[in-house]
């Protein structure tokens, strides 16, 4: 047993019937994305480590300890992508006007070396969207509307859209200073983590789950206190546009997001169907340096594993049963089995899903297999049918059986 290799920790094979759920989600997503006129971009899974080092913020945990990084034989520092935005920015950087207008999306695996838990894997899959261009509140709202359309297409049930603003980069120092100032007096009442956060990442104090911290946070001034009027005006227009686009949301003044590159609109989608990791998706407007290029855009990433977890069993079953009905060919003897090989070729060419026994099992065993595999139709041939040029057509749902000529079989099955 120990000799058989297992997948790496936090990575797993995705198999039927679950893989059909993935396929359905992906297909529906592509339809929605096309309606908003977004195009797919497929960037490499391995990039130069520098692509992430500078863009995600050097202090984030992702960069500090979660990257699968290694050195190539040529001595290059590379890593498996821990998220999608930076790779897309690497692609767009230096592309001038083309990049200015980009509306792109990606789907695929990301890698972070964390301890796995419910809704968190080391290899996980994200669907991400990046919309470039000048920062307008209307653009932010349109991207949020796209995200809402995705969840609607997936029939995900009730999800909560939570929206907030981080203000402009000019606001940041005032916000951090303001927060630290108000927290300083209460520092000894904060949990250990939050005392550490006061230096490393003050904003994170706002969404601490420890009850004592929550109380303190309630008494703080909202971060909008330290924002420029222009930033507040920006946020108002995002909200107005969302109303016009008929996207329901709620403002959560305590919402913060982990990555440094966000500014102005940030949002999260959560589901009560999930455990501790209840965020299905997170997004926001960002500005990112990539080499000497500076890019700004708005986008979001959706954790596909979490979407699957949030889907009810019933919905998953519904998404799985889209396979075509199965036709099973049953043979009484070798001659019939050989004839069935040709029949199988014809039926498959006609687009039907066909299986047959190739090992010479008894008819009883073949019928049993047909039942187990949920065949809709069984075509049976023995000596009598071979000489007559017919097959026995058995409808497995009601056990009704009749003899039909070979010429008619394809036509009957295809309709």
Angle at which helices 172-184 and 192-200 pack, to 10 degrees? 150
CB of 234 to RNA, least distance (A): 21
* The pair of three-digit structure tokens given for residue 211, joined into one six-digit string: 């009850």
Which one among 92, 381, 409, 413 touches RNA, defined by CB under 7 A?
381
Which one among 303, 311, 347, 377 touches RNA, defined by CB under 7 A?
303
Question: Which residues in the 386-415 window bind RNA by CB under 7 A?
Answer: 392, 394, 396-399, 401
Question: Which residues in the 123-182 window bind RNA by CB under 7 A?
Answer: 124, 126
Which one among 41, 46, 254, 279 touches RNA, defined by CB under 7 A?
279
Which one among 186, 204, 239, 318 touches RNA, defined by CB under 7 A?
204
Rounded distance between C-alpha atoms, residue 265 and residue 285, angstroms: 6
CB of 360 to RNA, least distance (A): 10
Site membership for RNA, residue 73 (CB under 7 A): no
* The pair of three-digit structure tokens given for residue 12, joined into one six-digit string: 């797993």
Which one among 90, 91, 103, 257 touches RNA, defined by CB under 7 A?
257
Which one among 133, 245, 258, 315 touches RNA, defined by CB under 7 A?
258
Question: Which residues in the 24-63 window bind RNA by CB under 7 A?
Answer: 60-62
- Are the C-beta atoms of residues 110 and 81 closer than 8 Å to each other? yes
Instruction: Let me know the angle formed at the C-alpha of 323 by 321 and 325, rounded to the nearest 5 degrees.
Output: 110
- Are the C-beta atoms of residues 125 and 107 closer than 8 Å to each other? yes
- Residue 308 phi, psi (nearest 5): -65, -40
Helix or strand run (H / E) with residue 318: helix 313-320
The mark string for 319-348 relative to RNA (x by CB under 7 A, - otherwise) is: -------------x----------------
Q: Which stretch binds RNA (CB under 7 A): 245-253, 289-297, 344-352, 372-380?
A: 372-380
Number of residues that bind RNA (CB under 7 A): 73
Site membership for RNA, residue 14 (CB under 7 A): no
Strand residues in 155-276 grouped as ranges (E): 160-165, 250-251, 262-270
Site membership for RNA, residue 117 (CB under 7 A): yes
Rounded distance between C-alpha atoms, residue 353 and residue 32, angstroms: 29
Instruction: Name the maximum alpha-carbon separation found in the chain.
Output: 96
Q: Which stretch binds RNA (CB under 7 A): 21-29, 144-152, 218-226, 255-263?
A: 255-263
Rounded distance between C-alpha atoms, residue 80 and residue 57, angstroms: 17
């Amino acid at each position: 047993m120990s000799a058989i290799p297992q997948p790496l920790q936090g990575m797993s094979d995705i198999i039927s019937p679950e893989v059909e759920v993935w396929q359905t989600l992906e297909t529906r997503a592509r339809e929605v994305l096309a309606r908003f006129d977004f195009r797919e971009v497929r960037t490499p899974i391995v990039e130069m480590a520098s692509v992430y080092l500078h863009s995600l913020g050097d202090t984030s945990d992702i960069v500090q300890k979660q990257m699968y990084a290694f050195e190539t034989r040529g001595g290059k520092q590379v890593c498996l992508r821990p998220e999608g935005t930076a790779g897309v920015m690497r692609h767009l950087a230096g592309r001038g006007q083309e990049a200015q207008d980009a509306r792109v999306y990606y789907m695929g695996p990301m890698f972070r070396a964390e301890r796995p838990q419910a809704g968190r894997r080391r290899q996980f899959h994200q669907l991400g969207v990046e919309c470039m261009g000048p920062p307008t509140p209307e653009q932010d709202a349109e991207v949020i509307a796209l995200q809402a359309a995705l969840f609607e297409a997936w029939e995900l049930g009730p999800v909560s859209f939570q929206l907030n603003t981080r203000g402009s980069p000019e606001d940041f120092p005032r916000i951090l200073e303001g927060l630290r100032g108000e927290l300083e007096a209460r520092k000894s009442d904060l949990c250990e983590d939050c005392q550490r956060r006061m230096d490393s990442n003050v904003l994170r104090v706002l969404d601490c789950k420890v009850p004592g911290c929550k109380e303190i946070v309630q008494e703080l001034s909202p971060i909008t206190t330290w924002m420029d009027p222009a930033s507040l005006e920006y946020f108002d227009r995002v909200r107005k546009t969302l109303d016009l686009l008929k996207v329901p949301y709620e403002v959560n003044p305590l919402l913060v997001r982990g990555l440094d590159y966000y500014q102005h609109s940030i949002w999260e989608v959560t589901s009560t169907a999930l455990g501790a990791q209840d965020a299905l998706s997170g997004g926001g407007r960002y500005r990112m340096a990539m080499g000497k290029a500076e890019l700004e855009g708005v986008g979001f990433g959706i954790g596909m594993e979490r979407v699957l977890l949030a889907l009810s069993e019933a919905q998953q079953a519904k998404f799985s049963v889209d396979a075509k009905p199965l036709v099973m060919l049953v043979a009484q003897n070798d001659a019939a089995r050989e004839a069935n090989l040709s029949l199988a070729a014809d039926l498959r060419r006609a687009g039907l899903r066909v299986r047959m026994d190739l090992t010479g099992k008894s008819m009883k065993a073949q019928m049993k297999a047909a039942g187990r595999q949920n065949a809709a139709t069984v075509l049976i041939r023995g000596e009598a049918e071979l000489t007559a040029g017919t097959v026995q057509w058995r409808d497995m749902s009601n056990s009704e059986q009749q003899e039909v000529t070979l010429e008619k079989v394809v036509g009957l099955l295809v309709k």
